[in-house]
A = this chain, B = another copy of it.
Amino acid sequence: MNRKAFIQASLLAFVATLATGAIAQAADAAPKAKVVFQVSDGDTAKWNLAFNNAKNVQQELGADKVDIEIVAYGPGIGMLKADAPVSNRVTEATQSGMKIVACENTMKGQKLTKADMNTAIGYVPAGVVEIMKRQGEGWAYIRP
């Protein structure tokens, strides 16, 4: 291979690498949708709507093809108490692969400890900051 051919081949290889990278990224990104649900109302009907919404997303896209996180804060924190009227649905949702988290700021404000909460859930320091972070990472945001 002479020098000119080498340079041309290198350029082609460079462009091909870029293109392959872009295609690989697209292929990676496509199958996994991501959505964060906000629950900030103290309203059982809204809690059920949030679970219905999240379940529909799983059924529509396939539970293994979507990351779902439900963030409860403010008056929505009641959804995640151990004695909440929807506590069965909380447990069921985590078993189906959803991540459900409570806002520790809200808990402090309402004098709740982890002992008061559903054992299936996780915790974040600040619910709103968690939702902001997820949006920044490209997750869709749904506020039922």
Contacts and interface: CB of A to CB of B under 8 A. Distances in A.
Interface of A: 3-4, 7-8, 10-12, 14-15, 33, 35, 38, 40, 45, 49, 52-53, 56-57, 59-61, 73-75, 105, 109, 125-126, 128-129, 131-132, 135-136, 138, 140-144
Contacts of A33: 132, 136
Given A14-B15, A49-B74, A131 B140 contact: yes
Contact of A144 (B7, B11, B40, B142): B40
Q: Give chain A's interface secondary structure class.
A: helix
A136 B33 CA distance: 9
Contact of A132 (B7, B57, B59, B74): B57
A131 B73 CA distance: 22
A136 B140 contact: yes
Contacts of A57: 126, 128-129, 132
A132 B128 contact: no
A49 B143 CA distance: 15
B56 A49 contact: no
